[in-house]
Amino acid sequence: MPPNVIDSPSFPVFLRLLILSIASEGLYLFLAARSGATPFAFPLLWSALFVAYALAIRAVQGLQRKTGPVLVLFVFVTSALFRVSLLLGRSGFSTDVPEAFLHGASPVRAAIGIRPELEPIAAAAFDLGALALMPALLRAASLPAGLALVYGWNPLLVKEGAGSGRLETIPLFFLLLAFLLLQKKRPGASALAYGASLAGPPFFWATLPLAARALRARLALSLVVAGLAWAPLAATRPIAELLGWPPSSTIGGSLMPATAELARLLVTRNPMVAIAACAGAWLLLALVRTVKLCPDGVDLPREALLLLGCFLFLSPQVMPWAFLPIAGLAAFSANPGWIVFSATAPLTYLALGEGSWSFWLGFAQYFPGYASLIFVALGTTRGRRERRGKAK
């Protein structure tokens, strides 16, 4: 076998991924066939998909930076097959819910909503477009291009995009494109792409502090693009309605509802106090991370992951598909705890429709993710201290 096609460190991983992709494809086909008929089978299928997904990530992480081009192509092809499986077998995947806080209404949805049958096709197409950008972004961050698998094989991205037709993959594509163009020293084109990303759900605006630091004066161009996109909606509907304000419930929220309960016990029953406290905490974090941002833009995907993630944690309402950007950016973080949130996000579905959001449902969704983030972060900090001690 020619050494330039699949290098020797990649080939055993390729074989393991081949087996895992066949197993995953079978699970996706079964999920597509049984999605509407056997709701109790979903947790089993979802768990099996994430087991295969975790094994695949573990295999690719062992490559370090040695990823052959055929392996990267294999990741793309298998990711496309997963999405096509759900596109062709769609039956009852979508969950209609009212527009919630910073979810729902957006220029992207208004444009594609003219032809609702095209929503899953558009979601899957831009999803694969974002995946195609991942290898170059990963290499720029000195990460193995094979970690594009973290995006391509993520069950939440596959299910919510191709299965449910969630359009968050469209602004995610433009966000990643803006990062890549900035790294290629094309700030003007990057500003245009970033402005297009702001035409998605309003929670994407959580990346604005980072863009202001990276694009500087060119951010005005992004805001013009975003303003033009939002103008038709703003002219026909109140801004508060577009933002889902005030939040009608705490479905999917974690830290903000907990802060509100604490405020009721110790301070006041006014919910605005908790919202203001959480907003202040996030703004402080955004300021600190933005000040530390390197001007070359290499760290932008990781910092965007941090700000978007913390923004969702501190929000009063969080729908499952809001975690799509978290799943899409998780490859850029050394902390795999971010991936756990894409595994537990569908638990929010249990609170939609006739269900209700409860402490135990929120605990089941968020505790594994928070525990993973903290455990890995503490281990990383301890490892750094030990290495410094040995160096001395």
Q: Mind listing the pLDDT tens digit for each residue in 73-111?
A: 999 999 999 999 998 876 554 555 556 788 878 999 889
* Rounded-to-integer distance, Cα 59 and Cα 61, Å: 6
- Asked if residue 248 is part of any domain, the answer here is yes
Give tens-digit pLDDT for 296-339.
Answer: 778 999 999 999 999 999 998 898 999 999 999 999 998 999 99
- Asked if residue 222 is part of any domain, the answer here is yes
- Asked if residue 102 is part of any domain, the answer here is yes
- Asked if residue 4 is part of any domain, the answer here is no
- Asked if residue 241 is part of any domain, the answer here is yes
Which DSSP string do the residues of 164-180 spell out, in sequence order?
A: T--TTHHHHHHHHHHHH
Q: Over the Cα atoms of the chain, what is R_g?
A: 21
What is the domain range of residue 92? 10-391
Phi-psi region of 222 (alpha: psi -120 to 50; beta: other; left: phi over 0): alpha
- Asked if residue 1 is part of any domain, the answer here is no
How much is the pLDDT for 2?
47
Query: Quick check: helix, strand or coil at residue 252?
Result: strand
- Asked if residue 17 is part of any domain, the answer here is yes
Structural domain count of the chain: 1
Angle between helices 337-344 and 359-391 (to 10 degrees): 170
- Asked if residue 5 is part of any domain, the answer here is no
* Rounded-to-integer distance, Cα 180 and Cα 298, Å: 9
How much is the pLDDT for 312?
94
Residue by residue, pLDDT tens for the chain (392 residues) are 444 444 445 677 888 899 999 999 999 998 887 665 456 778 889 999 999 999 999 988 876 666 678 888 999 999 999 999 998 876 554 555 556 788 878 999 889 878 888 889 999 999 999 999 999 999 999 888 989 999 999 999 999 999 888 899 999 999 999 999 999 999 999 999 999 999 999 999 999 999 999 999 999 999 999 999 999 999 998 888 888 888 877 888 898 888 888 877 777 777 788 888 899 999 999 999 999 888 777 899 999 999 999 999 999 889 899 999 999 999 999 899 999 999 999 898 888 766 688 888 999 999 999 999 999 988 765 555 554 555 55
CA angle 331/124/370 to nearest 5° reads 35
